[in-house]
Amino acid sequence: MTTAYLPKLNVPGPSANTFLGRLPIILRFAKDSIGFTRPLFETYGSVVAMTAGGGTHIYSPLAECPGTVFTCGAENVRKVTSQHEIYYKYPLSGKIYSNRNDSPRTEPLKHFGVGLFGVNSGTHRQHRQLLMPAFHKQRIDSYRSDMVAITQSVLEQLTIDKPVDIAQVMRLLTLRVATKTLFGSDVGEKGAKSGEILQEALRMNGSLAIALLPFDIPGLPFHHLLNLFGQLDDEMRGLIRLKQAKKTDEGDVLSMLIQARDAETGLTLDEDELLGHAGVIFAAGHETSANALTWTLFLLSQHPQIAQDVVDELQSVLKGEAPTVEQLQKLPLLERVIKESMRLLTPVPWNARITSQTTELGGYELPKGTEVFVSIYHTHHLREIYPQPEKFNPQRWETFEPTMFEYNPFSAGSRICIGAGFAMMEIKIVLSMLLQKYRLEYIQNQTIDRTGNIILAPKNGIKMIVRKDRDFTQAVGGVKGNVREMVELVG
């Protein structure tokens, strides 16, 4: 987990342990990245090294890494997200991407979690241009009926007055939406199976055990992960070839990407590139939305007046029905609630980059190969941008219009999330239908702790009771866990 560090990283940070080196610090970051970095920003400022002098190497698949730097604040966000020729992206698989040529079993690493994350400069622009039609507003609007039908199906399976893990329900719902819109209804159970395999692979990816022991030996997590990659490859290649044989755009994202062709160069996506884009689109359109929905429902359960006001707005406009695309634009309070939720409990807390050349950030020189983690979460909690930053206050959005560098749950600059419009429509549809039908009552005295570095999720889910009444004052308070560090809660 450490590497030789030349040139030296001259960014301030905590000193490494005399006897154990940098490993204890890396372990603390892996366990709770938000809790670990908060005091670092308070002590050292908006640009801080994981360890003084560098020497850490936790994300980059490149052999040489001078060290790891964390940063937050609008100006630093602007520099990193605007200078795309300096701050490169690499695949979501991180360090294990460097194992892609080790054996035939590691070949799936060439495309797993790659997509737009794994290309830079001109190649990134070409690929993004090819993907853009799949996320055109008209195309996204065409998914509305599928989103409504799947949401209705999931809601009908909930049992009144019974507890349910709302995080698990939202994962299932968004899994079904992603499978349907990405793979298409024609693939049936194969699409669902691919989604489940991909979901497990994403959960395992980034675990400390895999980073520390990237060996293909039976019994080790890395071996199991490669097994999953092999299954996923077989499933996905079969789907792609099936759709290629039909030679038509069947309405789903994958079939559209297969047909995509650059008008000037004739460039198309090869099979590995299609696999990479499909996996990343699935991940971005599934786990992130599920957690945004889960956190929003939790916040509403603890803020009864806001919950009442949202339901009043929904019933006034929708009258108990699912929203049309046009009606989604007529729900300003719902939009403000979602924005505030994604600010306060940011579904994607970090934006990781690697410097392609020596550069300057916040007055410090960063050598080529430096890992830079931009904290979207901590930027969203800066008092100079957001008064009372830990307060859930959707009303702030009535008069506040931040720049994309002050508020960037979908990142910013030329690499802003291509599926942001899709995600917002999905989140609005699910909330508008669920909140009109049920009240979700928080089960008190649960411990709600955060987990995840790529995705911010409740560690053990969030259990709620499904109610049909409108008594929003029930079960407010009684929240335990480090979520209380992130948001002001009563009781």
Report pLDDT digits (tens) over 135-153: 999 999 999 999 999 999 9
Report pLDDT digits (tens) over 171-222: 989 988 988 888 885 334 455 566 677 778 877 877 778 878 899 999 999 9
Helix (H, G, I), strand (E, B) or coil at 303: coil
> Can you name the residues that pair with 365 across neighbouring β-strands?
360
Which among 144, 220, 136, 212 is positioned nearest to 177, based on CA atoms? Answer: 144
User: Could you tell me the domains of the chain?
Assistant: 116-348+412-485 (1.10.630.10)
- Residue 323 half-sphere exposure, CB side, CA atoms within 13 Å? 28
Q: Residues 243, 254: contact at Cβ < 8 Å?
A: yes
Task: Give me the DSSP letters along 210-235.
Answer: HHH-----TTSHHHHHHHHHHHHHHH
Q: Which residues, other chains included, contact 19 with Cβ-Cβ below 8 Å and sequence gap of 6+? A: none
In order along the chain (491 residues), what is the average pLDDT of each group of 10 residues?
A: 62 87 90 96 98 93 95 98 96 91 94 91 91 91 94 96 96 89 61 69 78 90 93 85 85 88 86 89 84 98 98 98 97 98 97 97 97 98 97 97 96 92 96 98 96 90 97 96 97 80
Task: Say what the pTM is.
Answer: 0.94
Q: Residues 436, 323: contact at Cβ < 8 Å?
A: no
**The predicted structure's pLDDT at residue 264:** 83
Retrieve residue 303's tokens: 């803020």
Which among 163, 35, 173 is positioned nearest to 462, based on CA atoms? Answer: 163
What does the DSSP 8-state code read for residue 86?
Answer: T
**The predicted structure's pLDDT at residue 452:** 84
